[in-house]
Amino acid sequence: MEVLLDTCARRRVASLLLLILLAVKAAAECSKPEAKENTVLTDQSLLLNTFSEGVEVYFECANGYVVESGSGKITCAQKNWSESDLICKKKDCGFPESRPNMLFDLSTGTLFGNVIRVFCDKGFQLSGSSYKQCYATGWSGSAKCNIVSCDAPPEVLDGRISWDSQDEPKYGEVIEYVCKQGFTLIGNSSIMCGEDGEYDSPAPSCEEERITTATASPTSTPPQEVSPSTESPASLTDKTTSATRTVSPSKPGTEKILQTRPSVRSSVDKLLGTTRVRGMLTVGSEATTTTETPTTSSSLQAHMTPEKT
């Protein structure tokens, strides 16, 4: 009987001691640690359900952040956690990967979460996303720059162009125009593919050349001066009196028509001693009819020989 009582007593004492130990152990455990800014518990630390005295857990930097300093280890001591020394900073994606003829606007920064703009050199066109964002894994988005091209150059009637390729002209390429013989080029002789995919000027045209005949303007002939005659009086008298001589039918052989200038006629009258009656020139017994005509002589010599009739 006494043995049985002793056994029961020992069991009770053991149970009581176990409860005491459990109570002491529970009182010594730490609560789940809380992460500081930009840090999180490691996956291994998250698997622990209880954090007893002396246990160690670890922190790491959150997504998009990297370790600047510290280890991130904390320890449970007397129901409190030690201070974490882990300091994290934003990830810097750095300068984006360079692509031909591609430029970036980095004015907003290159740290985690920042967004930058993408554009191309003059004469190139962006294909893809025009923005990139810095993530924990690096820059997002992909793009490339393609050179700008223009439509096929227009043909010109009665002319030819220097472009004989099947491809479209690209930025900066020049097309020359030449007209056929007998045609004139109107406009620019060349056009260039511009940065906007348009030519810098319209295509020229070829127009047929027009031949113009020059009209000579009339010129006035200056009057010629008549030099004094150097002929003898006899020859001068012959020319003036025999220019146009006709015989009057009423008096055959006696009437003669004498065409002469007034100055010449006056000189002849004085030399021959003739008289004039009503337009009739009387020489001896013969009467002649005179008709005044111009002469090229400017004057007569003082003495002239009368023409024989």
Q: What is the pLDDT of residues 121-149, one digit of tens each?
A: 999 999 999 999 999 999 998 899 999 99
Q: Full-prediction pTM beyond 0.85?
A: no
Query: Residue 309 pLDDT more than 90?
Result: no
pLDDT given for residue 35 in this prediction: 87
Q: What is the mean pLDDT of residues 186-212?
A: 92
CA atoms within 13 A on the CB side of 232: 5
- Give Dmax (Cα) for the chain: 225
pLDDT given for residue 88 in this prediction: 95
Q: Say whether 102-147 and 26-90 share the same fold.
A: yes
Tell me the pLDDT band of 209, cut-offs 50, 70 and 90.
confident
159-208 maps to which CATH number? 2.10.70.10
pLDDT given for residue 69 in this prediction: 93
Identity of residue 251: K
Tell me the pLDDT band of 281, cut-offs 50, 70 and 90.
very low
pLDDT given for residue 105 in this prediction: 96
Pick the CATH number of 26-90 from 3.40.50.1820, 2.60.120.20, 2.10.70.10, 2.40.10.10: 2.10.70.10
Q: What is the pLDDT of residues 220-262, one digit of tens each?
A: 555 554 444 444 444 444 443 443 343 344 444 434 434 444 4
Domain residue spans of the chain: 26-90, 102-147, 159-208, 233-292
For the 102-147 domain, the top CATH level (class) is mainly beta
Q: Please choose, from the candidates 100, 58, 102, the residue with its C-alpha nearest in 3D space to the C-alpha of residue 81.
A: 58
pLDDT given for residue 29 in this prediction: 87
Q: What is the pLDDT of residues 49-87, one digit of tens each?
A: 889 998 999 999 999 999 999 999 999 998 899 999 999
